[in-house]
Structure 1
Amino acid sequence: MAALNLTHSDLSTFILMGIPGMEDVHVWISIPFSTSYIISLLGNFMVLFVVWKEETLHKPMYLLICMLALTDITKSSTVLPKALCIFWFNLKGITMGGCLTQIFFLHTVSFVQSAVLMIMAFDRYVAICNPLRYATILSNARMAKLGLAGLVRAVLFMLPLPLTLSRLPFCDNHIIPYMHCEHMLVAMISCGDITFNKLYSLVIPFVLMGSDVMLIAPSYGLIIRAVLRISSKRVHQKALNTCTAHICVMLMFYTPVFFISLTRRFSEGIGPHVHMILSDLYFLIPPMLNPIIYGVKTQELREKLGKYTCRR
Structure 2
Amino acid sequence: MPADNHTFFAPVTYILAGIPGMEESHVWISIPFCLMYIVTLFGNSLLLFIILTEQSLHQPMYLFVSMLSAVDLLLSITAVPKMLAVFWFGAGEISFAACLTQMFFIHVSFIAESAILLAMAFDRYVAICDPLRYTIILTKSVTGKMGLAVVTRSFCFIFPVIFLVKQLKFCGTNLLPHTYCDYDDIARLACDDITVNFWYGIASWLLLVIGLDAVLIAVSYGLILRAVFQLPSKDARLKALRTCGSHLCVILMFYTPVFLPIFAHRFGQIVPGYILNLLANLYVLIPPMLNPIIYGVTRKEILKWVIYVFHRWCRRSSLLS
Amino acid at match of 2:113: Q
Distance 1:157 1:10 in 2: 24
Distance 1:227 1:85 in 2: 49
Distance 2:305 2:79 in 1: 31
CA contact (8 A) 2:22 2:274 kept: no
1:4 is matched with none
1:122 is matched with 122
SS class of match (2:190): coil
Change (3 A) 1:123 1:93: same
Distance 1:138 1:129 in 2: 13
SS class of match (2:284): helix
Quote how far apart the aligned CAs of 1:38 are. Answer: 0.5
Distance 2:293 2:236 in 1: 24
1:219 aligns with 2:220: yes
Amino acid at match of 2:129: C
Distance 1:177 1:256 in 2: 19
CA contact (8 A) 1:99 1:181 kept: yes
CA contact (8 A) 1:40 1:288 kept: yes
1:37-86: CA deviations, max 9, x gaps?
00001000000011122111011110000000011111111110001111
CA contact (8 A) 1:115 1:147 kept: no
SS class of match (1:94): strand
1:176 is matched with 176
Distance 2:18 2:26 in 1: 8
1:240 aligns with 2:236: no
SS class of match (2:94): strand
Change (3 A) 1:165 1:224: same
1:275 is matched with 276
Quote how far apart the aligned CAs of 1:11 are. Answer: 4.0
CA contact (8 A) 1:17 1:179 kept: yes
Structure 1 residues 95-114: aligned runs within 5 Å: 95-114=95-114
1:167 aligns with 2:167: yes
Distance 1:83 1:214 in 2: 33
2:65 is matched with 65
Give the unaligned 5+ runs of structure 1.
Answer: 1-8
1:217-257: CA deviations, max 9, x gaps?
12111111111121233322211111000000000111111
1:298 is matched with 299
1:197 aligns with 2:175: no
After superposition, the CA RMSD in angstroms is 1.5
Quote how far apart the aligned CAs of 1:296 are. Answer: 1.2
Normalising by structure 1, we get a TM-score of: 0.94
Change (3 A) 1:25 1:214: closer
CA contact (8 A) 2:13 2:93 kept: yes
1:103-136: CA deviations, max 9, x gaps?
1111111111111000100100111111111111
Amino acid at match of 1:42: F
Distance 1:221 1:173 in 2: 48
Greater mean deviation of Cα atoms: 212-221 or 36-45 = 212-221
Distance 2:113 2:45 in 1: 17
Distance 1:222 1:291 in 2: 27
CA contact (8 A) 1:103 1:183 kept: yes
1:33 aligns with 2:17: no
CA contact (8 A) 2:21 2:274 kept: no
CA contact (8 A) 2:16 2:175 kept: yes
CA contact (8 A) 1:128 1:239 kept: yes
1:265 is matched with 266
SS class of match (2:179): coil
Amino acid at match of 2:217: I
2:94 is matched with 94
Amino acid at match of 1:230: L
Equivalent residue pairs, number: 304
Distance 2:214 2:51 in 1: 27
2:318 is matched with none
Distance 1:179 1:93 in 2: 11
Distance 1:48 1:243 in 2: 20
